[in-house]
A = this chain, B = another copy of it.
Amino acid sequence: MLMVEIDPDKKKPLYEQIYEEIKRQIQVGTLPEKTKLPSARALAKRLEISRNTVDLAYGQLTAEGYIESRPRSGYYVCMVEDLAALDIQVETEEIDPEPKKEEMPYDFSPSGTEMEQFPYQVWRKLLKEVMINDNSELFQKGDAQGDLGLRKAIMYYLRQSRGVKVHCDQIILGAGMENLLFLLRQTFGTKQIVGVENPVYTNAYGILKELGFGVRPISMDQNGMKIDNLRKSDADLAYVTPAHQYPTGIVMPAGRRGQLLRWAKEKEGRYIIEDDYDSEFRYYGKPIPALQGTDHHEKVIYIGTFSRVIAPAIRVSYMVLPPKLLVKYRENVTAFSCSVSRIDQAVLTLFLSEGHFERHLNRMRNIYKEKHDLLLHCIRQFMNGADISGQGAGVHVMIDFHIRQNEQFERELRKQGVVIYPLSFYYMEGKPKEEKYILGFTRMKKKDMIEGTRIIGNVLSTIK
């Protein structure tokens, strides 16, 4: 005999009260498997409610598989295994939040962007423009490689500013370099071994590792990656930053570029990944041309990003695939849509095509140049005998303080709120012969830069 109590004064609809009570009884076993339920008509009569209300409750229970209707017989309880405690609320235990990084007042980090310079007004205006018409096409699924308009704008930019030989069909957009390297892995299909510069851009190294690439650190000399060592390794890909090596700041000279291209040409399937991460920032002379532009055998995969120049949250990176790899990409990568927001794509397209990007870039170049020059000035002023390298470009320099008590030095700096980045941190194998330090200036204010370098100078003088 089914016992169901209902309360017409409760807020909950009657049919839900019936549904929940029967469900509960099935779950706890009061109504065992194969029990016949009263007919909807009978139950309705007993509860003095409309037949329709019971039908609704029985319908939901049937839909969820708690009861079943047998033709010309009625409703029966189904076998519901292992769900005894089905709807009992269990509080999910509090999960430890990830530890926050402590902010230091004088952090010479080479990453990030000077956010005060973000072209907020322009971005807002362009967003409005993009949304002004009932442009609902914008909310449909876009092209997997990225919107054609944006790819064209990037094509023109790369041809003009970087000497990259590119057709817009070769461009693939992704939300950050990690996304592009993922697509590259999918394109190859099989496990690839990548030679990387040692010391290396640790982010790229981490991404390659996590993506399951085999990663081989290749040692460098003053011209960049040693091609002999690359050749001795089992790598078929070489990840390099020829315009401004990260972190040493070395510009790979024409001769070494030629050797690298020859290495790639020697064997089918070899490719160079050129990460042109900060080529926009060169403060004296013309920009260093991209390696890709001098390649005649379709051996260079070119990668660049807007995150560094515009803002970290504008996660639009681009990759130029050699035609042969493009064919492979289209064969092997079919299930992945473009990871960049279409609204961000639309705004960026206008940002590029209406000349805002060029203006912004020129402004950023001036701002970073001023900071760069100030940093060099401060180093010469406060740090006696420090040797600077990798200057003239990018957003960091490397400094050799010629000291041996590095741990004590770093500890003392931290105490006084200064963070600089030891070169050894960027070594994935071995150690540098002499410890040097990376000092970046993207996010640092000028007065903090002066104060920070002054502190470094003071600490240096107590140590030497």
Contact = CB atoms under 8 A, between A and B. Distances in A.
A286 B335 contact: no
A136 B115 contact: yes
Interface string A199-211: 0000100110110
Interface in A110-152: 112, 115-116, 118, 120, 123-124, 127-128, 131, 134, 136, 138-142
Contacts of A92: 165-167, 170, 323
Contact of A176 (B93, B203, B339): B339
Interface in A171-198: 175-176, 178-179, 182, 186
* Secondary structure dominating the interface of A: loop
Most chain B Cβ neighbours within 10 Å, of A82, A115, A120, A259: A82
A196 to B, nearest CB: 14
A3 interface: no
B140 A78 contact: no
B337 A285 contact: no
A285 B60 contact: yes
Interface string A379-398: 00000000000001000000
B259 A56 contact: no
Copies in the complex: 2
Contact of A78 (B19, B134, B255): B255
Given A169-B95, A314-B139, A296 B254 contact: no
A7 interface: no
Contacts of A123: 131
A178 B335 contact: yes
Interface in A53-91: 56, 59-60, 63-66, 78-83, 85-87, 89-90
A247 to B, nearest CB: 17
Nearest to A85: B296
A80 B335 contact: no
Contact of A312 (B26, B141, B165, B344): B141
A207 B131 CA distance: 32
A165 B89 CA distance: 8
A175 B335 CA distance: 13
A210 B334 contact: yes
Interface in A329-352: 330, 332-337, 339-344
Nearest to A176: B337
Contacts of A339: 175-176, 179, 315, 339
A98 interface: yes
A261 interface: yes
Contacts of A66: 253-254
B206 A335 contact: yes
A252 interface: yes
A253 B206 CA distance: 44
A302 to B, nearest CB: 12
A82 to B, nearest CB: 4
Contacts of A89: 165
A443 B229 CA distance: 58
A90 B254 contact: no
B207 A335 contact: yes
A214 interface: no
A28 interface: no
B251 A63 contact: yes
Contacts of A141: 112, 312-313
Interface in A157-171: 163, 165-167, 169-170
A66 to B, nearest CB: 5
Interface string A306-338: 000011111100000001001000101111110
A9 interface: no
List of 6 A-B pairs having minimum Cβ-Cβ separation, nearest first: A65-B253, A341-B341, A139-B311, A206-B335, A81-B258, A82-B258
Given A115-B136, A210-B336, 16 more contacts: A16-B286, A63-B288, A64-B288, A82-B262, A83-B261, A95-B326, A112-B140, A115-B140, A120-B131, A139-B311, A142-B313, A176-B339, A178-B337, A182-B182, A206-B335, A343-B344
